[in-house]
Amino acid sequence: MIDVAIIGTGVCGAAVARELSKYRDLQIVCLEKDTDVANGTSKANSGIVHAGYDPKPGTLMAKYNVKGNAMIRQLAKDLDIPYRQNGSLVVAFDDEDMKTVQALYQRGLENGVPDLSVIDAQEVRRLEPNINPDIKGALYAKSAGVISPWELAIAQMEVAVQNGVEVRLETEVTGISLCGDHFEVTVKTNQGTEVLETKFVVNAAGVHSEEVCSYISKPNFHIVPNKGQYYLLDKTQGALVERVIFQCPSKVGKGVLVSPTAHGNLIVGPDAVDVNNAEDVSTTAQQLAFVRNTAARTCDKINYRESIRNFAGVRAQGTVDEFIVGTVPETDRFINIANIKSPGLTSSPAIAVDVVSMMGEAGLPLKEKDDYVKTRQIVRFRELDEAGKQRIIEKDPRYGRVICRCETITEGEIVAAIHAPIGARTVDGVKRRCNAGMGRCQGGFCSPRVLDIICRETGLKPEEIRKDKAGSNILIGQTPKGQDKASV
C-alpha cells in the first residue's frame, strides 16, 4: 500500500514530494500523465519570484507568496537552480497609476514584504536607463527575483527521488474512490489500466485539479483556463533591463512584463485570454502583437528580430480569487492544491510545508530521516574557470566535446542529464535539464546529436525518441534504400 500518492509533478507536486522525502518509512509515489516532470504550467510562465505586494492581505496567496519568496532564496542555493534576486519595479505612467503604486506599497507592507519602497521618476531612470523616460515613478521591491521555473520543479523532484520517492511518468489518474481507510486510484498507462491503493492523496494536477477533485468530492472552485503568450529574446537583449519591469496590474493579471530571465535572455509577456482547452498552448500573431504593443509602453528599444521563441502557458485561473489548499469535506486524507495561478511558482515551497503538516495532522507518521540528502549539484561547463574546465575534461573527456554551440553545452552535461535521478528521455527533457537547444538556433544544430546520445545512453530506438509530449516523435523510420538520396 502506498502512503501518499501525489497527482501531478509541476512545482507544487515536486515541492510536496521533496518536503515529504525528509521523512522515513513512507512509500511516496508521484503520478504524472505527461512524458516528463514539470511539463505543464510550471515550464511555461514568467519565471518571476514575486515579492508579494500583489495578493490581498489575509489570503493564502499573500501568506504563501511572501514565505515562498524567502524559501526560494535558500532552495535555489541548495538545489543549484539558476536564480537571481534582481528586484522588480511596477512603473506608473500617470497619476492614476501612481495611486495604484501607493496602494500596492500599502498592501505589501500589510503582507510583510521586506525592502519595499516607492521611488520617483528620476530614480527609476537611474536604475533602468533603457525604459521609456515618460514615467511618473514606481514601486521598487528588492526581494523579487527571477528563477528557472522548470528547474525549480525538476531539481526538487530529483532530490525527492534521491531520498526514495518514486515517479511514474505517462501515468494518468482517471478515477479515485474512497474505500474506508484508503483510496483506490485508477491510472491509465501505455500498458493499460491499473488500480493503486494509497492512504493519502495530494491533488496537484494544475489546470486539471478541478477534474481530479471531482473524483472524490464536489469541487468548491471552478477553473477557467487562461492563456498567456510570450516572446523570448536572445541574450543580446537580456541586459536591456536589469530588473523585472511590470506595468500596473489590472483585474486580469499582473500585466505585460519585460524582464531578464534567470538564463540571461529577455522575456516579454504575457497577455491573458480565457481558453476552452487547458492543453492549448498555441500562440497567435494577434495576441503576440498585443504583447509587443503593450510592452512598448515600458521599453521601445526591444529588438524583436532577436526573438528566438514564442510560447504560451495556461493559468489554472479559478472563479475564486484564492488558492485552494486543504482537505475536502469527505476526508482529511485527500488534499487539494488547486486554483494555483500566479504567484503559484513563488508560493509552491511554502504551500508544500503546510500540505505536509496537514497530512501529519490527519495521521501520516512524520519521522525525520537521519540520512536525508537536501542538496543537488550539476556541472555547468561554461560557468567553470579554465582550470575547472581542464580538470573535468581530464576526468571525463566527454566534457571536452561541445554539442550545443549556442549555449556551450558539452556531451558530458547531456549524458549527466540522461542519467540524472529522473533522467531525460526526450530532446526537450535534455534541454530543460542542461540547456542544450536553449540558444539562438533553438536546437536546429544539436537536436539530431542529442537524439543520438539519448539512444546510445538508454538503448531506445531513434523512432522512439520524442521531442517532448506523446506523439512528438522526431523520426518515423529508416528511409528505404534507393530513396535515401535527395531527388533533384
Ligand X SMILES: Cc1cc2nc3c(=O)[nH]c(=O)nc-3n(C[C@H](O)[C@H](O)[C@H](O)COP(=O)(O)OP(=O)(O)OC[C@H]3O[C@@H](n4cnc5c(N)ncnc54)[C@H](O)[C@@H]3O)c2cc1C
21 touches ligand X (CB under 6 A):
no
Residue 202 binds ligand X, judged by CB under 6 A: no
**Does 341 engage in binding with ligand X (CB under 6 A)?**
yes
Do the beta carbons of residue 346 and residue 88 sit within 8 Å?
A: no
Asked if residue 190 lies in contact with residue 170, where contact means CB atoms within 8 angstroms, the answer is: yes
If one asks whether residue 47 binds ligand X (CB under 6 A), the answer comes out as yes
Report if residue 92 touches ligand X, rule: CB under 6 A.
no
Residue 424 CA, distance from chain mean position: 16
Q: Site size for ligand X, by CB under 6 A?
A: 40
Q: Which of 42, 86, 88, 156 binds ligand X (CB under 6 A)?
A: 42
Whose cell is 493499460? That residue is 192
Burial class of residue 442 in the structure, from the number of CB atoms within 10 Å of its CB (0-12 exposed, 13-18 middle, 19+ buried): middle
Q: Does 205 bind ligand X (CB under 6 A)?
A: yes
Binding flag, residue 48, ligand X (CB under 6 A): yes
Q: C-beta of 102: minimal distance to ligand X in Å?
A: 23
Q: Does 203 bind ligand X (CB under 6 A)?
A: no
**Distance of alpha carbon 91 from alpha carbon 378, whole angstroms:** 37
**Sequential DSSP letters for 328-347:** ETTEEEEEEEE---TTHHHH
Q: For residue 116, what are the CA distances in angstroms to 24, 33, 59, 67?
A: 41, 41, 20, 15
Q: Kindly name the residue from 50, 182, 208, 263 that is annotated as catalytic.
A: 50
Q: Which three cell numbers stand for residue 258?
A: 519585460
Q: Which of 63, 199, 235, 315 binds ligand X (CB under 6 A)?
A: 315
Among 137, 145, 206, 219, binds ligand X (CB under 6 A): 206
Nearer to ligand X, 203 or 237 (CB): 203
CB 424, CB 430: distance < 8 Å: yes
Question: Cβ 315 to ligand X, closest distance in Å?
Answer: 4
* Residue closer to ligand X (CB basis): 307 or 342: 342
Alpha carbon 433 to its chain's center: 12
Q: Is 313 in the site for ligand X (CB under 6 A)?
A: yes
Cα–Cα distance, 422 to 314 (Å, whole number): 24
Cell of 360: 501529519
208 binds ligand X (CB under 6 A): yes
Of residues 396 and 468, the one with the C-beta less far from ligand X: 468
Active site includes 50? yes
| 425 makes contact with ligand X (CB under 6 A) | no
Figure out which of the listed residues 21, 35, 45, 88 binds ligand X, where binding follows CB under 6 A.
45
Cα dihedral 446, 426, 272, 280 sign: positive
Q: Which residue has 523532484 as its cell numbers?
A: 157
Q: Which of 33, 63, 67, 263 binds ligand X (CB under 6 A)?
A: 33
Based on the shown chain and the rule CB under 6 A, indicate whether residue 9 belongs to the binding site for ligand X: yes
From candidates 108, 219, 255, 344, binder to ligand X by CB under 6 A:
344
Interacting positions 223-262 with ligand X (CB under 6 A): 228
The number of beta carbons lying within 10 Å of the beta carbon of residue 486 is: 5
Contact 229, 33 (CB under 8 A): no
Residue 204 near ligand X by CB under 6 A: yes
Dihedral (CA of 344, 346, 349, 355) sign: negative
Does 7 contact ligand X by CB under 6 A? Answer: yes
Position 219 contacts ligand X (CB under 6 A): no
Q: Does 12 bind ligand X (CB under 6 A)?
A: yes
Should residue 345 be labelled a site residue for ligand X when binding is judged by CB under 6 A? yes
Helix 411-418 crosses helix 447-458 at what angle (to 10 degrees)? Answer: 50
Beta 2-7 vs 192-203: how paired, if at all? parallel
Handedness of CA 350, 351, 352, 355 (dihedral sign): positive
Give me the least distance between CB of 21 and ligand X, in Å please: 17
The least CB distance from residue 281 to ligand X, in Å, is 9
| The binder of ligand X chosen from 21, 39, 237, 307 (CB under 6 A) | 39
| DSSP calls for 388-402 | HHHHHHHH-GGGGSE
Residue carrying C-alpha cell 517532448: 468
Which is nearer to ligand X, 45 or 143 (by Cβ)? Answer: 45
Classify the phi-psi angles of 326: left when phi > 0, otherwise alpha if psi is within -120 to 50, otherwise beta. Answer: left
Rounded CA gap, 435 and 168, in Å?
24
Note whether 431 binds ligand X by CB under 6 A: no
Q: Of the listed pieces 5-13, 101-109, 288-296, 424-432, which binds ligand X according to CB under 6 A?
A: 5-13
Q: Which is nearer to ligand X, 342 or 410 (CB)?
A: 342
Q: Which is nearer to ligand X, 5 or 420 (CB)?
A: 5
Are residues 225 and 218 in contact, defined by beta-carbon separation less than 8 angstroms? no
Rounded least distance, CB 67 to ligand X, Å: 13
Helix, strand, coil share of the chain (percent; to 5): 35, 25, 40
> Does 364 engage in binding with ligand X (CB under 6 A)?
no
Applying CB under 6 A, which part among 46-54, 135-143, 381-389, 421-429 lies near ligand X?
46-54
Question: Where on the chain is the footprint of ligand X (CB under 6 A)?
Answer: 7-13, 31-34, 39-42, 45-48, 50, 172-173, 204-208, 212, 228, 270, 313-315, 340-346
- The catalytic residue positions are 50
